[in-house]
């Protein structure tokens, strides 16, 4: 049965919600992966959390390389579906997967060969934490090909208008992770206690299960766009198109991670508890931005299909609805983080010092949630139009300014560690405000779509 949704016709709100809900559900599942690890690892104490948090920067950095094929594939698959161009759809799917496999192999080798240097970058100063970080990194690196390919499979299905299948498959992976985490971390029966290594093995195993489910679904599918042969009849023009579209977002993600790693070094100077607070706090806050990112992904596919079909009036109406939804979500998450900070953080680390610092983290970051949601949503609109460079430039510059701002604020006798969190919040407020201003300006001056398409009335 064809589960793909045609986003170019029918009720806009209904189609957006129908596509967005499974994607947002998938995003929550991705959050749950990390939160499950943190809940179980947190029971081993702050050192274990710090180890996983430190090594976890490198799978996060991998997203920069994943984005080249993920974003380019999602945009061009959606646009070619809107144009009803089967050949382009097939070749963009094929090229996205091929690029992803090549990059995953290169990244895996880099992590394994330079593992000690990569962990040493953070200057942790704690031998136990360093050893656990290296162990975690090596295991995760061995399963990196699954970590790379799953987001690309998800984006291809979403570009086709099918968000339900990725949701179901990622749910299977989450269940596997929930079952494996406590067994491998704490041991059960003949299975020894593996600690952070157990958390890494559980994550890799769950990602492998997800990948196998996607492959099974693709082979089972009778749809023409999946009838492809990898690394045969390679068309470099499609590679180039995906690269041009995906590179700005890849650079944005890569720089964001690098900036975060530098921020991590600043945080590490305050000790392992501060590192643990940052890791757990960012996972909690990710509930807001990951779900928003899922909605933005649906919006990007909606915009992409309608842009390909030259239905500009439909894009305008859809984006207005999306901004209202994001406004509500941003306000709600602000209220939850600001007023529920202490109770939320206690669920992860039950140490008084960590709770006090974690509470401050969530309150300060809570003030920026609305603006962060606007940033992500508006970026999704530009991605659907193929104008990925606009949000990327703004986000790279303002995220980079977090570092000098953090150094200035954390030197304050009043703010200390909280100065780092304030630098993140201030930059997020500016990013959301500036991107909204650019979107409004381009729409008013009729320069948003680059090409003048005839407006089509929404049915």
The shares of helix, strand and coil residues in the chain, as percent rounded to the nearest 5, are: 80, 0, 20
CA 253 – CA 380 distance, rounded (Å): 14
Give me the chain's average pLDDT, please: 83
In a domain, 171, yes or no: yes
Is residue 430 scored above 90 in pLDDT?
Answer: yes
Lookup result for tokens 């757990």: 280
Residue 412's pLDDT is what?
67
Lookup result for tokens 């192999």: 105
> For residue range 394-420, what is the model confidence (pLDDT) as tens digits?
999 999 999 999 988 887 667 888 898
Q: Vertex 138, ends 261 and 181: CA angle to 5°? A: 90
DSSP string, 301-331: HHHHHHHHTT-HHHHHHHHHHHHHHHHHHHH
In a domain, 234, yes or no: yes
In a domain, 101, yes or no: yes
Other beta carbons less than 10 A from residue 134's beta carbon: 18
* Tokens (6 digits) for 74: 């999602």
Give mean pLDDT, residues 192-202: 86
Domain that holds residue 52: 12-444
Give mean pLDDT, residues 290-299: 81
Question: 5 pLDDT band (50/70/90 cuts)?
Answer: low
In a domain, 69, yes or no: yes
Question: 434 pLDDT band (50/70/90 cuts)?
Answer: very high
Instruction: Sort 236 into a burial class: Cβ within 10 Å, 0-12 / 13-18 / 19+.
Output: exposed
Residue 4's pLDDT is what?
65
Nearest one of 316, 359, 343 to 453, comparing CA atoms? 316
Q: Which residues pair with 191 in a beta bridge?
A: 188
In a domain, 451, yes or no: no
> For residue range 312-323, what is the model confidence (pLDDT) as tens digits?
888 888 888 888
- Min mean pLDDT across 43-52, 83-92, 185-194 is at 43-52
> For residue range 158-172, what is the model confidence (pLDDT) as tens digits?
878 787 888 889 889
Residue 116's pLDDT is what?
86
- Min mean pLDDT across 45-54, 108-117, 324-333, 448-457 is at 448-457
Residue 456's pLDDT is what?
40
In a domain, 458, yes or no: no
In a domain, 110, yes or no: yes
CA 369 – CA 295 distance, rounded (Å): 15
In a domain, 403, yes or no: yes
Residue 1's pLDDT is what?
41
Taking a C-beta distance cutoff of 8 angstroms, is the pair 20, 299 a contact? yes
> For residue range 86-131, what is the model confidence (pLDDT) as tens digits?
888 888 888 888 899 999 999 999 999 998 888 888 777 778 888 8
- Min mean pLDDT across 65-74, 113-122, 224-233, 372-381 is at 224-233
Domains in the chain, number: 1
Reduced to 3 states, what is the DSSP secondary structure of residue 125?
Answer: coil
Residue 290 CA, distance from chain mean position: 6
Is residue 256 scored above 60 in pLDDT?
Answer: yes
Lookup result for tokens 């000098």: 404
CA 239 – CA 235 distance, rounded (Å): 7
Give the largest CA-CA distance in the chain. Answer: 68
């Amino acid at each position: 049965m064809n589960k793909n949704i045609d986003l170019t016709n029918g009720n806009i709100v209904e189609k957006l919600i129908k596509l967005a809900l499974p994607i947002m559900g998938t995003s929550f599942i991705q959050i749950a992966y990390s939160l499950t690890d943190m809940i179980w690892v947190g029971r081993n104490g702050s050192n274990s959390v710090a180890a996983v948090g430190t090594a976890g920067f490198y799978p996060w950095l991998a997203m920069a390389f994943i984005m080249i094929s993920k974003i380019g594939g999602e945009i061009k698959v959606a646009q070619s579906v809107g144009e009803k161009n089967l050949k382009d759809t097939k070749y963009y799917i094929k090229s996205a997967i091929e690029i992803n496999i090549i990059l995953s192999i290169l990244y895996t080798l880099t992590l394994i060969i330079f593992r000690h240097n990569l962990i040493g970058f953070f200057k942790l100063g704690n031998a136990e934490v360093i050893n656990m970080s290296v162990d975690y990194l090596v295991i995760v690196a061995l399963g990196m090909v699954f970590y790379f390919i799953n987001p690309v499979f998800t984006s291809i299905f979403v570009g086709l208008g099918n968000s339900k299948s990725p949701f179901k498959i990622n749910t299977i992976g989450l269940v596997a992770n929930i079952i494996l985490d406590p067994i491998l971390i704490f041991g059960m029966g003949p299975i020894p206690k593996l600690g952070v290594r157990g958390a890494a093995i559980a994550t890799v195993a769950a990602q492998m299960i997800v990948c196998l489910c996607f492959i099974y679904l693709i082979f089972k599918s009778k749809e023409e766009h999946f009838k492809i042969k990898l690394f045969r009849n390679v068309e470099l023009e499609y590679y180039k198109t995906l690269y041009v579209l995906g590179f700005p977002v890849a650079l944005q993600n890569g720089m964001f991670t690098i900036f975060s790693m530098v921020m991590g070094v600043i945080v590490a100077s305050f000790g392992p508890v501060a590192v643990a607070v940052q890791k757990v706090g960012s996972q909690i806050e990710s509930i807001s931005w990951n779900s928003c990112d899922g909605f933005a992904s649906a919006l990007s596919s909606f915009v992409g299909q309608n842009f390909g079909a030259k239905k500009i009036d439909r894009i305008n109406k859809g984006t207005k609805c999306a901004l209202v939804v994001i406004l509500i979500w941003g306000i709600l998450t602000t209220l939850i983080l600001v007023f529920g900070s202490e109770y939320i953080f206690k669920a992860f680390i039950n140490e008084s010092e960590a709770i006090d610092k974690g509470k401050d983290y969530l309150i300060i970051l809570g003030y920026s949630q609305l603006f962060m949601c606007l940033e992500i949503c508006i970026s999704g609109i530009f991605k659907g139009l193929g104008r990925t460079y606009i949000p990327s430039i703004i986000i790279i510059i303002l995220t980079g300014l977090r570092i000098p701002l953090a150094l200035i604020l954390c030197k304050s006798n009043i703010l200390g560690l909280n100065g780092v969190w304030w630098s993140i919040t201030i930059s997020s407020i500016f990013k959301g405000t500036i991107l909204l201003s650019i979107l409004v300006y381009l729409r008013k001056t009729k320069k948003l779509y680059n090409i003048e398409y005839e407006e089509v009335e929404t049915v």
